[in-house]
Amino acid sequence: MKKILRSLILTGLLLVAPALLTSSYDKEFEWSKNLEIFHSLIRELELYYVDETDPAKMIRTGIDQIMKTLDPYTVYYPESQVEDIQLMTTGEYGGVGALIGQDSLGVYISDPYEGTPAQKAGLRAGDRIIKVDGKSVNGKTTKDISPMMKGTIGTTLELTVERPMVKGQLTFTMQRDKIRFENVPYFGKLADGSGYIRLTGFTEGASQEVKKALISLKDQGAKGVVLDLRNNPGGLLIEAVDIVNLFVPQGQEIVSTRGKSKMWEATYNCRYQPVDTLIPVTILVNSGSASASEIVAGAMQDLDRGVIVGQRTYGKGLVQTTRDLSYNAKIKLTTAKYYIPSGRCIQALDYTNRRADGSVGHIPDSLVSEFKTKRGRIVKDGGGVMPDFLVEQKSLSGMTSNLYYQNMIFDYATQYRNTHDQIPSPGVFEIKDSDYQDFRSFLISKKFTYATESEDALDDLIKSAKKEKYFDRAQAALDELRSKLSHNMDKDLEAFKPEIRDMLADEIVGRYFYQKGRIQYMLRDDDGLARAQALLANPAEYRKKLNQ
């Protein structure tokens, strides 16, 4: 019998091995063949195409098209853009600390960061860049100007700008410095005694920033903590592990990774002694919470260590690794999926099975599986982290959206800042009725116009009706519908006054108190935060949710 079994196994191996070798050979041959075709194609174009060709541009176009067949997180970086990777991982770069934007009039300062050379020199949001180091930037884009503003630490940058409401041009000279974006731009003790930590990124040192904030809040007497991960796109996986480690014991598994190659399979456990394993924690998330944010929220949920509040998270369960390429280029590519303590992967989109048109669909419900938390609560994979308590996300009216996207809010805040030397603190500042009336006059002076989604949809309906020859019989009804849907700016300004005033105040506060001020102002009326605080104030409800 043993001889027969050995014979069968050997026969099976002899049958399978050629198939495996053939499959590997076929794939290798396909790569070699197509690369040779590609090379000969480029050669023929360069030699015989009627006009001059740009080899670098053509190859880059080819690379970009290859990337589009993969997931959006696999990105090629030529040598000129390698510093972007450094910014993503360390949160640091050499520059002056000012974000820039662009509209039909040119490039402008959109957000100088507090404490940076740009802010200390006196640059303000809304300043329009005219010259960089004495050279005109007329016609240039943000893509052109951004590299000109960055550079070696200690070097000098001279910016000439035009400031609305101020005559003539202003020139600012500043030294480039190491600019580092804080992962925790704000933390503080709230009025009810709970602590609040806003985490906006996961670059190097994020866990230490959260640890410092947590210890400070405990020293101030906070008996519970709200960790705000809303709109946090993620970052370094190890920082996520170390942040969870602040609340759970050393040795606890937080996340594991699995990829096609064994080298990307790993398990990440808590490495240090925690700060506090008992303090109640509520975690705020929304659809903008992704990647490392979802590791923190998902692990805390799986371990029944915190209650999640907000909306379903983005659903990015993929891990990226940076690899070196020739000529100092790099590629950031997806090498693995990650799995949180319950064993689930929260990846929402299936990039391996694209539709015929190239689009990507969500993981179908039929493939969604159930898992259990440490205390037996049911959680699911395949679609982000579902909060323990859902809070409806506020949506903006069409009027307010148009004000924002047409830069009316931004431009009015610029005018306000250049005509008001100071305002009250973020905790008490309000848009007065006189300010709101002034904003209305501002919109009229700018000849602001807009169309609502309903009006756009009606226009599309009318076009379809005309094309299908139904318009004549439906004209009366369509005209009546248009009269009911047509917007009126004054009526809309009144109807949506609360949300428009909030956006105006947020933008204006940012001009005086920068990023910290914006956060402080927005926390004054925050449904998600209110629900998170209510949970911390109700220990019985908190414990019940965690099956404690």
Q: Is 470 exposed, middle or buried (0-12, 13-18, 19+ CB in 10 A)?
A: middle
Helices then strands, counting H and E runs in the chain, come out as 17, 23
In angstroms, the Cα distances linking 168 to 104, 130, 160, 171, 262 are 21, 11, 10, 10, 63
The average pLDDT across 99-118 equals 96
pLDDT confidence of residue 22: 56
Mean pLDDT score, 505-512 = 98
Question: Cβ(487)–Cβ(450) under 8 Å?
Answer: yes
The count of other CB atoms within 10 Å of the CB of residue 1 is 5
| Whether residue 485 has pLDDT greater than 80 | no
Q: Rounded CA gap, 199 and 234, in Å?
A: 10
pLDDT digits (tens, 9 = 90+) for 466-481: 888 888 888 888 888 8
What is the pLDDT, as a whole number, of residue 436?
A: 97
Amino acid at 178: K
pLDDT at 13: 47
Q: Rounded CA gap, 301 and 95, in Å?
A: 39
Residue 442: the pLDDT is 97
- The percent of residues in the chain predicted with pLDDT above 90, rounded, is 74
Q: Tell me the pLDDT tens digit for each residue of 226-283.
A: 999 999 999 999 999 999 999 999 999 999 999 988 898 999 999 999 999 999 999 9
What DSSP state is assigned to residue 242? H
Catalytic residue annotation: 291, 302, 316
Determine the straight-line distance between the first and last CA of the chain, rounded to whole angstroms: 57
Model confidence at 301, in pLDDT bands (50, 70, 90)? very high
Question: How far apart (Å, rounded) are the C-alpha atoms in residues 118 and 177?
Answer: 10
**More confident site: 85 or 232:** 232
Residue 1 has pLDDT above 50, yes or no: no
Integer Cα distance of 158 and 166 in angstroms: 19
Helix axis angle, 398-405 to 408-417, nearest 10°: 60
- Tokens representing 237 are 């996986």
Question: Taking Cα atoms as reference points, which of 369, 373, 216 lies closest to residue 306?
Answer: 373
329-357 pLDDT, tens digit each: 999 999 999 999 999 999 998 887 777 67
Q: Residues 147-176: pLDDT tens digits?
A: 999 999 999 999 999 999 999 999 999 999
**How many Å apart are CA 5 and CA 96, to the nearest integer?**
73
DSSP letter at 313?
-
Q: Are strands 177-180 and 92-95 parallel, antiparallel or unpaired?
A: antiparallel
